[in-house]
């Protein structure tokens, strides 16, 4: 799909007064570009991703890419962001239920062999590309960790979790276990999220003193 082919479609939509059913061309092009960048990254790492190669694989012109992203790193960052599924909004009624909903999404991502392989490759590329990794952590990793931190802090405030727990360590226990097991265990047990949350909560829940 070349850029020249996009304009007639846009003109036709304008003349008809509405958009035809299905995903707009611009969204399809963006998805194709991101998919192409991820595929090239999965094949050859960061070094294998260049704007010309992405454009060729996605079937678009380079100008189409540059209209959306100023350079390779910005494009790759957006592409790598899609390796993680959005986390559900915590309901705030139960720490266990909120953590379980979050961990199920994370476990599902790591259970996907393609996602897991690309994520492992990203971790391996981090040392050679520290700026890219730092931006990925700031944009993708930390906001997801903040969701878990908020659940843990709310649990402390509500009395579900014991006071004095180290929120950062507890968060890393949960997320680190998913990453570690996702890399080492195939396939992941279907009840892995439940087992992980319940085992972690054994040490985190508030237990009234027995008198």
- pLDDT tens-digit readout, 72-127: 999 999 999 999 999 999 999 999 999 999 999 999 998 898 998 898 899 889 88
Using the predicted structure, report yes or no on whether residue 198 has a pLDDT greater than 90.
yes
pLDDT at 196: 94
Band of residue 142 on the pLDDT scale cut at 50, 70, 90: very high
pLDDT at 126: 86
185 or 118, greater pLDDT: 118
Contacts by residues 86-90 (CB-CB < 8 Å, ≥ 24 positions apart): 87/144, 87/147, 90/147, 90/150, 90/151, 90/154
Do 124 and 149 form a contact (C-beta atoms < 8 A)? Answer: no
Residue intervals of the chain classified under CATH 1.10.357.10 are 95-204
Indicate the fold that domain 95-204 takes in CATH: Tetracycline Repressor; domain 2 (1.10.357)
Residues in the chain: 211
Do 5 and 59 form a contact (C-beta atoms < 8 A)? Answer: no
Using the predicted structure, report yes or no on whether residue 13 has a pLDDT greater than 80.
no
- pLDDT tens-digit readout, 62-77: 999 999 999 999 999 9
CATH 3.30.9.10 fits 3-78, yes or no: no
pLDDT at 204: 84
Using the predicted structure, report yes or no on whether residue 210 has a pLDDT greater than 60.
no
| Least confident interval from 24-28, 113-117, 141-145, 154-158 | 24-28
Band of residue 41 on the pLDDT scale cut at 50, 70, 90: very high
**Whole-structure pTM value:** 0.80
Residue intervals of the chain classified under CATH 1.10.10.60 are 3-78
CA 164/CA 119 separation, integer angstroms:
33
Using the predicted structure, report yes or no on whether residue 24 has a pLDDT greater than 70.
no
Band of residue 21 on the pLDDT scale cut at 50, 70, 90: low
């Amino acid at each position: 799909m070349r850029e020249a082919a996009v304009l007639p479609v846009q003109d036709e939509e304008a003349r008809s007064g509405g958009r035809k059913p299905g995903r707009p061309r611009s969204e399809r092009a963006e998805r194709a570009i991101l998919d192409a960048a991820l595929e090239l990254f999965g094949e050859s790492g960061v070094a294998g991703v260049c704007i010309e190669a992405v454009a060729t694989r996605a079937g678009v012109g380079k100008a189409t890419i540059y209209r959306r992203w100023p350079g390779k790193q910005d494009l790759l960052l957006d592409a790598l962001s899609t390796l993680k599924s959005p986390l559900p909004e915590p309901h705030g009624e139960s720490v266990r239920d909120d953590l379980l909903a979050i961990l199920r999404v994370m476990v599902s991502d790591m259970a996907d062999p393609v996602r897991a392989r690309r994520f492992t490759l990203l971790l391996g590329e981090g040392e050679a590309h520290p700026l890219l990794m730092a931006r990925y952590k700031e944009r993708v990793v930390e906001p997801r960790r903040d969701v878990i931190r908020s659940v843990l802090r709310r649990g402390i405030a509500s009395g579900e979790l014991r006071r004095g727990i180290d929120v950062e360590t507890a968060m890393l226990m949960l997320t680190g276990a998913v990453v570690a097991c996702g890399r080492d265990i195939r396939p992941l047990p279907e009840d892995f999220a439940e087992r992980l949350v319940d085992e972690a909560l054994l040490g985190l829940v508030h237990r009234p003193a027995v008198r």
